[in-house]
Amino acid sequence: MDATVKGNQIKITIDFLKENFGDNALDKLFVHMDQRIKRILSRPILDISRIPETAFSQLIVTAEKVFGSKNYRLSRDIGHYLAHKSVPKFYQIFIKLGDPFFVIKRSQSFWKTIHNTGTLVFEATGPNSTTGQFKDFACPQKEFCSLLLGYFGAVCEMCGYTPISVVETKCICEGDDFCEFAISWK
Ligand SMILES: [Zn+2]
């Protein structure tokens, strides 16, 4: 099974890069990319297309390398933007209920509509906090972990809360068995 991601995630990421770094942002990244990935990203991408996960991964990693500053801040900003643009209408109802845990817990089913590898399982650790485990993803990268942190922070904000702490406490990329995210809000 090839690891894939839904086309809309790539389209939204490209929109973000163009908004922030100009219409030729993608051309600046292509210089640093494999020919195969460049070809995939140059073609028209439909929202519902299944695109190789490696293309999404290389897009984020290269954007961080070319446009990023430090601490994977850009990847985090991309995750924040993706949450605002792609959390579907269905979840807006839960967002109106204003419970970040309720929405974050549902990220695990939302994830499966977007990616065909990786699992994301959250448990409540208090009234305003949750911890999640992320594993079995085909393209683990620090940039991607930061993207998820940005996503979870955005969910807290969308529910009307301020994220207090959105951190990764374990990471596959640093030798742990899984990535672990600890999120709290007020
Ligand atoms: Zn990680």
Q: Domain-by-domain residue ranges, the chain? A: 4-74, 80-185
C-beta atoms surrounding 50 within 10 Å: 13
Q: How far is the CA of 169 from the centre of ligand 1 (A)?
A: 8
**pLDDT for 88:** 63
Contact 158, 95 (CB under 8 A): yes
Q: How far is the CA of 102 from the centre of ligand 1 (A)?
A: 22
Q: How far is the CA of 118 from the centre of ligand 1 (A)?
A: 12
Give the model's confidence band at 89: pLDDT under 50 very low, under 70 low, under 90 confident, else very high. low
Name the nearest CA neighbour of 100 among 127, 80, 137, 68: 127
Domain covering 80-185 in this structure, CATH number: 3.90.1520.10
Mean local confidence (pLDDT), 3-13: 96
Q: How far is the CA of 159 from the centre of ligand 1 (A)?
A: 25
Give the model's confidence band at 103: pLDDT under 50 very low, under 70 low, under 90 confident, else very high. confident
What are the strands of the beta sheet with 179-185, ordered from one edge?
119-126, 129-135, 179-185, 163-170
Q: How far is the CA of 23 from the centre of ligand 1 (A)?
A: 31
Q: How far is the CA of 177 from the centre of ligand 1 (A)?
A: 10
CA atoms of 88 and 69, how far apart (whole Å): 30
**pLDDT for 1:** 75
Q: How far is the CA of 150 from the centre of ligand 1 (A)?
A: 13
Q: How far is the CA of 55 from the centre of ligand 1 (A)?
A: 19
**pLDDT for 171:** 98
90 pLDDT more than 70: no
